[in-house]
Amino acid sequence: MTILSDVYYWVKALHVMSVLAWMAGLFYLPRLYVYHVEGLKKQGVVRGSDMDLLFQHQERLLMKAIMNPAMISTWIFGLLLVFTPGIVDWSMAWSWAKAGAVLGMTWFHMWCGKQRKALADGSNTLTGRQYRMMNEVPTLFMIVIVIAVIVKF
């Protein structure tokens, strides 16, 4: 047995906890963007107002203190699982589907970071409706990942 096999259940538990924290952020941040864009528009509030700065603070804190560490730990523990002998069979479609969905989830995370900066510097061009639609993207990736890992097609 290798050391990764010996600590498999610990790594798996830490991976699941990391994924939960990351997903919570991925579900919540675009919703904050909706409130940010629509709240400023509804109130006729300008950039730099107390409300705008509060949203910017919440968005930055969520990204930097929760989402980034959770994404990094998800990747670290996930890669440890990949390198654990006998866990991932790359000849099966499920492992490739999961890998693709995880890459998509990571892209979405980066997109959220780009949108946070656009809201902070006043260059945002998206509407609340567009952010609502983007808020569904992590759900689609989650569905692929869960089915791939549980069903192992």
Residue 80 within a domain: yes
Q: What is the pLDDT of residue 2?
A: 85
Phi-psi region of 6 (alpha: psi -120 to 50; beta: other; left: phi over 0): alpha
Distance CA 56, CA 121 (A): 10
Q: How far apart are CA 136 and CA 103, in angstroms?
A: 16
Note whether residue 10 is domain-resident.
yes
The number of distinct structural domains making up the chain is 1
Determine, yes or no, domain membership for 67. Answer: yes
C-alpha span between 57 and 115 (Å, rounded): 14
Domain of 71, in residue numbers: 3-88+115-134
pLDDT digits (tens, 9 = 90+) for 94-137: 999 999 999 999 999 999 999 999 999 999 999 999 999 999 99
pLDDT at 42: 72
pLDDT of residue 49: 85
Query: Looking at per-residue confidence, does 66 or 2 come out higher?
Result: 66
Alpha helix ranges (H) inside the chain: 3-6, 8-43, 50-61, 68-82, 93-121, 128-134, 137-151
Average pLDDT score, the chain? 94
The total number of residues written for the chain in this structure: 153
Residue 142 resides in a domain = no
When pLDDT is averaged across residues 54-75 and rounded to a whole number, the result is 97
Q: What angle do CA 101, 87, 144 make, to 5 degrees?
A: 20
**Distance, CA of 149 to CA of 126 (rounded, Å):** 34
pLDDT above 80 (res 44): no
pTM, 2 dp: 0.92
Does residue 103 belong to any structural domain of this protein?
A: no
Residue 34: which residues within 8 A CB-CB, separation 6 or more? 128, 131, 132, 135
